[in-house]
Structure 1
Amino acid sequence: MVLTVNDTRSVCCWLRFISQGGRMIGAGFVAPRAAVLQLIPRLVCSRSMAVSLQVSPGRCLFDEPLQVKVTGLSPGQEVTLQAALTDEGGETFTSVGRYRAGSSGELELSRSPALDGGSFTGIEPEGLLWAMEPQTPFRRLLRKDVQSPQRVDFALYESHEPRGKLLATAAQERSFMGEGVSRIPVREGRVRASLFLPPGPGPFPAIIDLYGTGGGLMEHRASLLASRGFLTMALAYFDYDDLPKDLGGLHLGYFREAVQVFSRHPKVNNQEIGLIGISKGADLALTMATFLPGIKAVVSISGCNANTFAPLPCDGFTLPGLAFSTEKIKFTDFGAMDFSDAMDDPVDPTYQECLIPAEKSHASFLILSGSDDKNWQSALYSEQLVTRLKEHGKNAEYHCYPGAGHLLEPPYFPLCRASYHKLLGLPFLWGGQLVGHARAQEAAWQKIQSFFRKHLTQYNPIQSHL
């Protein structure tokens, strides 16, 4: 005996008859009540279950994993999942994953592999985040307003190519400041910065955060570190407010003043300071640790072991700036400057005075670089630095990540292979391979936190609830 139901209305009628204890009559036969009851779950599932797209948690920190699950699909159904966000400048970044539902009509990004033809392949739960690309070439995802979350929109479509009708949508807010973290602008003496204070009585391990030749005030990494229990100062040093407009106006005295201002904060633990810097900010961090007191731990990301580009006046002497050869600058076939071979060799005897004598520092060092850095040869510079430090019995930990480019950001930031460089006024090549760079950002972020927890005493972890 086979029963057929053509629409939801028929099911409702049958249910009403059954609820009254009746026997169903259809097409010349009488169906036992028990047989119809066994059939109803399959009928209801096949006709009335809606497709559901679940993204969790609904709000989280930007560095937290992504969980996406889809239910209500047909077994083996092919679908396209798109993620999109719009930055503060109005630029839209998107990524696409192509999937095939399992035998139960579900797919879960932590277990379901992305198929060929999308932005990434394989089991990549966060691929929709780190594989995002801008609609406009040479745009880099940054976040200046860290007090507001970044909204990410997800859309599920039928089929692959061409994309079919919209099946479901969802959204997630990814924040940079955890619950209870406060942002305090710093304008004391010459120092221009932002302080990020975790909740609680403290004291906290304290970190000064320095970015590179783009200038301005970059706060996204500092705010995330504060959300993980560190008291941080995002320090601007040029092209911001009334600071010098270019690197030629730098002086070590400015960084000394920043350390003094930060150390006086009542919640800085034991007046011990950690430093984290990327690119030009990394060699500045090395210089600070070498010539300024109170620096306990340093993280150098994609840095150089010499003072770069512009001379840095110090107390009674000047560190010359490591130069570059214009004839070694190349351009890619898509119009970006490839600077990777242009810098002079810092260990060449001609440029010895540019080298930062970091072995004089009492700090511990974590050195991070990527094998596909196209800004400069940070892997080579890092190896030179680590060798020199270890020759002098200094504590240095080094990691070079395969496939990683220059811009090693916190986890799930999209890879930026090339972007418009504000200082140079043209597109600049940073390097990086999609999956390798994403893996490096996750691994480096954990290394950074573990390193600071180890070397900055009295670490007080916090639980951030958004």
Structure 2
Amino acid sequence: MAANTTSPKLIVDQTSSLADERIHICAQCLQPFQCYTLLLSIIDEKSTLFKSLAFYLADADGKIDLARDAAIESPSGSYRGVFSEGLFSTLKPLIPYERLVRRDVTHPLRFVLSLWNGSTASTISDQYLRQFTSVVTSQHLIDTSLDFVTSLNVGLSESLNVGLSESLKPLAVQSIDRHFMKDGVRRVVVKEGKLRGTVFIPAGNGPFPGVLDISGAAGGLVEYRSALLASRGILAMSLAYIRYDDLPKSMKHLEIEYLEEAAEWLFQHPKVNPVSGGVGLIGSSKGGEFGIAAACYSRRITALCTVNGNIMSIGSRTTRQLSDVKYRTEYGMVTPSGVQYPPAPLDVGKAVLYDDDAINVRDSVAFPVVPELRNMYSKFRKPFIREGRQIVSGDKDDFGTATQEEETNSGGFFKFGETDFETIKQSMYPIEQVHADWCLFIAGESDQNWHSPVYALEAVRRLEAVGKKHVRALIYPKTGHYIDPPCAPFEEASFHPLAQSVVVWGGESFSHQAAQEDAWMQTQLFFKKALTSPPDPLSSKL
């Protein structure tokens, strides 16, 4: 095969797309059977540089296709094998444990994709890569011709006051914009009564399914999921509940009435479809736990989806890192008709501290050891094949090894330290009271934050026992805690502002990305079905 004489090119099928869409990346006009590096970089809103890179061999025609070709295994590569979304999924920050989270969803994330000779890209300095990424990102129109790349390298050499060898210059460059709001989606700030958040309204006349979106314990206003839901035809409200505007700075007390008020407000929105008699709620981690609590009391929540949520109030009475959850309070006090769920204490002695000071708290939280759950596990575990690779369970049985005596003495929960079941029972939400006809519990089998699959199955078991029909769990193998829309990079660990430490989340990049893609599709289908269906008369009577 003759050598290519034309300049190398990067071919991206969508240089501007929604953040949850797959992107097809190819390189062509390369030297056959030669090694090349593909490098992806981005500078986020906090000026943190993220990068990923992979090494590929060009085929006999001088082409590389990320959906077809396997990345070469290398200590400096971010991944190996066929992984079409690998560059996006394996992005890592230069400042360890930072998360790539888009705060301003009205603007896209702009990534810089570059092609390099051999494996030399792995040796370029962080200073050069930052400047390179900054220059390309600032361009309004990226000209990926050889002339542009040449002028770019000249400018970088001058700004860095260094001479760049030919081997340390990119062969081709392409910017990629990933949007969170489709054309026509409107963002409206909500500041009514106690409510603080934003509503994302899809393009068109509606009516649309309405969904409350609750984030985790880090708090603040997290909008990217709501913006993408609206881009897919669901009217979504990002609801902050701590650490935002004039809301409480801590989670010492969470009041269910706040979510109840939000559900009622959203249901009254003129563009929300009223046919189900209510709205949906999606919550992740602590947001999922808070959402379960609200669904036990609010009849306006007719479809509930939790992502690695819990079935009881979680926290530590000693450190007060997390909160109690209350319903029907006056001046912060529970009324005679109200109820309070104190935080189940954590057994910090079971936390694992790693050499890099990251902490794994999974076994610090009590979880059910109900025998029936083991039989349910295979029904809801979701192994599947992606890009020719089978994704199956990578973890040990998640149900512990409690003896019959221990199960009896613990009331169905592990007993640890000085904590008995009666203490834990005070923190458990009355799941049987959930008013929603439709419930979906999503869990990562390798979640290291807590035993999410077990909580999901226990919720299903208890809801099915009271006659709920539209209840299911989705348990994804080798998947960690942060199951976000598929635009989010995989994070095995990150700094948690509430815990003030690095927390291990678990999972593996390839499987986690596959889970995010599937869970995102399942979530949209779930809400569109549940919120366009009339209430189940039998369920209403129950």
TM-score range, shorter chain: 0.7 to 0.9
CA contact (8 A) 1:97 1:115 kept: yes
Question: How many angstroms does 1:344 deviate by?
Answer: 2.9
Runs of 4+ in 1 over 6 A off after TM superposition: none
Question: How many angstroms does 1:320 deviate by?
Answer: 2.3
**What's the counterpart of residue 286 of structure 2?**
280
SS in 1 for 2:46: coil
Moved more, 232-241 or 325-334: 325-334
Q: Give aligned pairs, total.
A: 416
Q: C-alpha offsets along residues 392-443 of structure 1, whole Å, 9 cap, x if unaligned?
A: 2223111111110101111131111111111121211111111111111111
Question: How many angstroms does 1:458 deviate by?
Answer: 7.5
- In structure 2, how many angstroms separate the alpha carbons of the residues matched to 1:366 and 1:252? 20
- In structure 2, how many angstroms separate the alpha carbons of the residues matched to 1:220 and 1:458? 27
Question: How many angstroms does 1:257 deviate by?
Answer: 1.5
Task: Kindly report which structure 2 residues correspond to 1:331-370, keeping only aligned pairs within 5 A, or say none.
Answer: 331-345=353-367, 347-348=412-413, 349-350=421-422, 351-363=424-436, 364-370=438-444
CA contact (8 A) 2:367 2:454 kept: no
Q: Which amino acid aligns with 2:294?
A: M
SS in 1 for 2:426: helix
Question: How many angstroms does 1:362 deviate by?
Answer: 3.0
CA contact (8 A) 1:302 1:378 kept: yes
Task: Kindly report which structure 2 residues correspond to 1:250-261, keeping only aligned pairs within 5 A, or say none.
Answer: 250-261=254-265
- In structure 2, how many angstroms separate the alpha carbons of the residues matched to 1:250 and 1:354? 13
Q: Which amino acid aligns with 2:452?
A: S
Which of 301, 313, 321 is residue 295 of structure 1 equivalent to? 301
- In structure 2, how many angstroms separate the alpha carbons of the residues matched to 1:59 and 1:345? 44
- In structure 1, how many angstroms separate the alpha carbons of the residues matched to 2:255 and 2:44? 34
- In structure 2, how many angstroms separate the alpha carbons of the residues matched to 1:423 and 1:365? 28
1:204 pairs with 2:214: no
- In structure 1, how many angstroms separate the alpha carbons of the residues matched to 2:98 and 2:505? 12
SS in 2 for 1:151: strand
Question: How many angstroms does 1:46 deviate by?
Answer: 5.0
**What's the counterpart of residue 313 of structure 1?**
326
Question: How many angstroms does 1:47 deviate by?
Answer: 6.5
CA contact (8 A) 2:264 2:300 kept: no
- In structure 2, how many angstroms separate the alpha carbons of the residues matched to 1:370 and 1:174? 26
Which of 432, 435, 445 is residue 371 of structure 1 equivalent to? 445
Which of 181, 185, 193 is residue 189 of structure 2 equivalent to? 185
- In structure 2, how many angstroms separate the alpha carbons of the residues matched to 1:105 and 1:458? 53
Moved more, 142-151 or 360-369: 360-369
CA contact (8 A) 2:4 2:30 kept: no
**What's the counterpart of residue 25 of structure 1?**
none
**What's the counterpart of residue 139 of structure 2?**
none
**What's the counterpart of residue 453 of structure 1?**
528
- In structure 2, how many angstroms separate the alpha carbons of the residues matched to 1:320 and 1:252? 13
**What's the counterpart of residue 225 of structure 1?**
229
1:119 pairs with 2:125: no
CA contact (8 A) 2:78 2:90 kept: yes
Moved more, 140-149 or 432-441: 432-441
- In structure 2, how many angstroms separate the alpha carbons of the residues matched to 1:132 and 1:330? 26
1:237 pairs with 2:237: no
Which of 346, 349, 361 is residue 324 of structure 1 equivalent to? 346
Which segments of 5 or more consecutive residues in structure 1 lack a partner in the other structure?
A: 1-41, 460-466
| Larger Rg computed on CA atoms | 1
1:134 pairs with 2:134: no
Which of 229, 246, 252 is residue 248 of structure 1 equivalent to? 252
- In structure 2, how many angstroms separate the alpha carbons of the residues matched to 1:170 and 1:54? 8
Q: C-alpha offsets along residues 228-255 of structure 1, whole Å, 9 cap, x if unaligned?
A: 0000000000111111111113211211
- In structure 2, how many angstroms separate the alpha carbons of the residues matched to 1:47 and 1:314? 70
Cα gap change, 1:127 to 1:162, in 2 (>3 Å): closer
Q: C-alpha offsets along residues 116-153 of structure 1, whole Å, 9 cap, x if unaligned?
A: 11211122111110011111111111111000000010
Question: How many angstroms does 1:323 deviate by?
Answer: 2.0
1:406 pairs with 2:481: yes
SS in 1 for 2:260: helix
- In structure 1, how many angstroms separate the alpha carbons of the residues matched to 2:50 and 2:445? 26
Which of 43, 53, 73 is residue 10 of structure 2 equivalent to? 53
Cα gap change, 1:128 to 1:206, in 2 (>3 Å): same
Normalization by structure 1: what TM-score?
Answer: 0.86
Question: How many angstroms does 1:48 deviate by?
Answer: 4.1
Q: Which amino acid aligns with 2:341?
A: L
- In structure 2, how many angstroms separate the alpha carbons of the residues matched to 1:71 and 1:328? 53
- In structure 1, how many angstroms separate the alpha carbons of the residues matched to 2:44 and 2:491? 14
Which of 29, 32, 43 is residue 75 of structure 1 equivalent to? 32
**What's the counterpart of residue 150 of structure 1?**
109
Which segments of 5 or more consecutive residues in structure 2 lack a partner in the other structure?
A: 123-166, 316-322, 329-337, 369-411, 414-420, 535-542
Question: How many angstroms does 1:372 deviate by?
Answer: 1.1
Normalization by structure 2: what TM-score?
Answer: 0.74
SS in 2 for 1:166: coil
Which of 179, 183, 191 is residue 175 of structure 1 equivalent to? 179
- In structure 1, how many angstroms separate the alpha carbons of the residues matched to 2:519 and 2:182? 21
Which of 46, 60, 66 is residue 89 of structure 1 equivalent to? 46
Which of 464, 468, 471 is residue 390 of structure 1 equivalent to? 464
SS in 1 for 2:71: coil
Please tell me the root mean square deviation across aligned C-alpha atoms, in Å. Answer: 1.7
- In structure 1, how many angstroms separate the alpha carbons of the residues matched to 2:121 and 2:93? 21
Cα gap change, 1:162 to 1:174, in 2 (>3 Å): closer
- In structure 2, how many angstroms separate the alpha carbons of the residues matched to 1:241 and 1:250? 16
CA contact (8 A) 1:207 1:273 kept: yes
1:62 pairs with 2:19: yes
Cα gap change, 1:198 to 1:330, in 2 (>3 Å): same
- In structure 2, how many angstroms separate the alpha carbons of the residues matched to 1:255 and 1:362? 14
- In structure 2, how many angstroms separate the alpha carbons of the residues matched to 1:276 and 1:444? 12
CA contact (8 A) 1:269 1:458 kept: no
Moved more, 137-146 or 420-429: 420-429
Question: How many angstroms does 1:293 deviate by?
Answer: 1.2
**What's the counterpart of residue 213 of structure 1?**
217
SS in 2 for 1:389: helix
SS in 2 for 1:69: strand
